[in-house]
Amino acid sequence: MIRKADIFVICFILAATLLATGTAEFFKTDGHTVNITINNELYGSYSLFENREIELVTDSGRNSVVIENGKVYMASADCRDEICVNHSKISKIGDTIVCLPHKVVVEIK
């Protein structure tokens, strides 16, 4: 039912997608500021070049964002899944760390 040409098309589409994504990732440029939004409202804008720790206390809980040597990560949070804490450090324009339970978005600009 599935023919060779079908498999070729599937592989081609997947390969092209991976290649395009990889290229886009490679050409991403370093950011300079970090925007933190809570509940879709801008909470604060911070420079990527100053090391600091930002404590966020919201109705839903607590998050701690750390800026260190041009990179940003979520040091700790009391959300239920801790996906944001496990996220790798971000530094390129457009990179985000999202804490969905607390509606916190950390984005590099």
Partner 1 sequence: MVKDMSKKVAYYGCILSLAMIFSYVEFLVPFNLGIPGIKLGLANIIAVLVLYKNGFKSSMVINIARVLLVGIIFGNIFSIIYSLSGGILSVAAMALAKKWRALSPVGVSVIGATAHNIGQIAAAAIVLETAAVFYYLPFLIISAVVTGVLIGLSTTIIISRLKSANI
Q: Which of 12-20, 49-57, 74-82, 84-92 is the region at the interface with partner 1 (rule: CB under 8 A)? A: 12-20
Q: Is 9 in the site for partner 1 (CB under 8 A)?
A: yes
**What are the helix and strand counts (H, E) for the chain?**
2, 7
Q: Which of 17-25, 50-58, 71-79, 81-89 is the region at the interface with partner 1 (rule: CB under 8 A)? A: 17-25
Q: Is 29 in the site for partner 1 (CB under 8 A)?
A: no
The token duo for 65 is 């964002």
Query: Nearer to partner 1 by C-beta: 18 or 75?
Result: 18
Of 86, 56, 91, whose CA–CA distance to 70 is shortest?
91
Query: Nearer to partner 1 by C-beta: 15 or 57?
Result: 15
Residue 70, SS3 per DSSP: coil
Give dist(CA 92, CA 26) in Å, integer: 10
Question: Residue 19, class by beta-carbon neighbours within 10 Å (0-12 exposed, 13-18 middle, 19+ buried)?
Answer: exposed
Q: Is 20 in the site for partner 1 (CB under 8 A)?
A: yes
| Residues that bind partner 1 in the complex, under the rule CB under 8 A | 1-6, 8-10, 13-14, 17-18, 20-21, 94
